[in-house]
């Protein structure tokens, strides 16, 4: 089977798949979500410091599994290097997606508004009144969320699905699992769309680093907006209850151009099947 590492000569070590098989990946993911849900119910009582600890639960089971099974952690979490140019383009893609998904969220919210108590609880959690609040919320909701969730969904889960099946199905299923894992039906469509973009970009670059950048940027902007007191500062951005048409057009144009550049930058780097076959043949 070409997707397996070459067994070392003179070694009785059992032949191991190049990436974890989907059946084991799904079990680890289920355990991860259960741990995050149960553990999160207790850690949330710690306040904003709980945000950091909760996010760490998303990466702990995959790390333990990979270590126990003897898989290379960096490879199976897709921690591959990218160029500075790709980081810059990822920022542009992220900014354009933030604007377009913001408008989509406004439309969805018009028909299916988030319950008032949920809005209040979310605003209270994200409000920052001291330097410790800033530290823990930014580390947890922005950096830890980007690193842990992207490593889990675009790395661990999607890589396994890509290696053993269709790339398209891997991206779509990974995005769906990503949306479900947020346990918020009011945001599910928005998160699903974001997940599809992130899945494609991570596959194309064969790295989760660009998607970490976009994920952190997405959460960071949301955090800044939540803590912006003077809404008049954003009068140029909105038109009534919606994003200004001129801003939407600019965002769509930026997304189109930046995606084309990213596509050109990652030419020839997006096939894990090629990497697997070359390693197996070496």
3-state secondary structure of 239: strand
For 19-66, write each residue's pLDDT tens digit. 999 999 999 999 999 998 888 778 777 766 777 788 888 999 999 999
The answer to whether 262 touches 90, Cβ cutoff 8 Å, is yes
> Number of C-alpha atoms within 13 angstroms, CB side, residue 275?
16
Q: What single DSSP character describes residue 58? A: T
The answer to whether 84 touches 209, Cβ cutoff 8 Å, is no
pLDDT beyond 80 at 67: yes
Cα separation of 69 and 57, whole Å? 19
For 88-113, write each residue's pLDDT tens digit. 999 999 999 999 999 999 999 888 88
**How many other β-carbons are positioned within 10 Å of the β-carbon of residue 75?**
17
Helix (H) or strand (E) holding 128: none
The whole-model pTM stands at 0.86
Cα separation of 78 and 158, whole Å? 10
User: What's the chain's Rg over C-alpha atoms?
Assistant: 20
């Amino acid at each position: 089977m070409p997707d397996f590492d070459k067994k070392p000569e003179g070694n009785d070590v059992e032949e191991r798949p190049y990436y974890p098989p989907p059946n084991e990946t799904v079990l680890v993911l289920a355990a991860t979500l259960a741990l995050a849900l149960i553990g999160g119910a207790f850690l949330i009582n710690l306040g904003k410091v709980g945000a950091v600890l909760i996010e760490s639960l998303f990466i702990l089971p995959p790390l333990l599994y990979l270590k126990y099974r003897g898989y290379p952690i960096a490879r199976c979490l897709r921690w591959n290097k990218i160029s500075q140019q790709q980081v810059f383009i990822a920022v542009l893609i992220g900014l354009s997606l933030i604007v377009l998904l913001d408008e989509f969220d406004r439309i969805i919210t018009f028909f299916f508004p988030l319950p008032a108590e949920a809005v209040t609880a979310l605003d209270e959690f994200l409000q920052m009144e001291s330097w410790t609040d800033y530290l823990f919320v930014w580390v947890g909701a922005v950096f830890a969320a980007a690193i842990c969730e992207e490593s889990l969904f675009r790395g661990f889960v999607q890589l396994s699905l890509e290696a053993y099946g269709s790339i398209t199905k891997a991206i779509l299923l990974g995005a769906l699992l990503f949306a479900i894992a947020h346990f918020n039906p009011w945001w599910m469509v928005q998160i699903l769309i974001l997940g599809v973009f992130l899945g494609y970009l991570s596959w194309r670059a064969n790295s989760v680093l660009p998607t970490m950048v976009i994920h952190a940027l997405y959460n960071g902007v949301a955090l800044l907006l939540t803590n912006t007191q003077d809404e008049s500062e954003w009068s140029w951005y909105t038109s009534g209850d919606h994003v200004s048409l001129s801003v939407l057009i600019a965002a769509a144009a930026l997304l189109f151009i930046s995606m084309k550049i990213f596509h050109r930058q990652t030419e020839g780097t997006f096939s894990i099947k090629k990497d697997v076959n070359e390693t197996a043949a070496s």
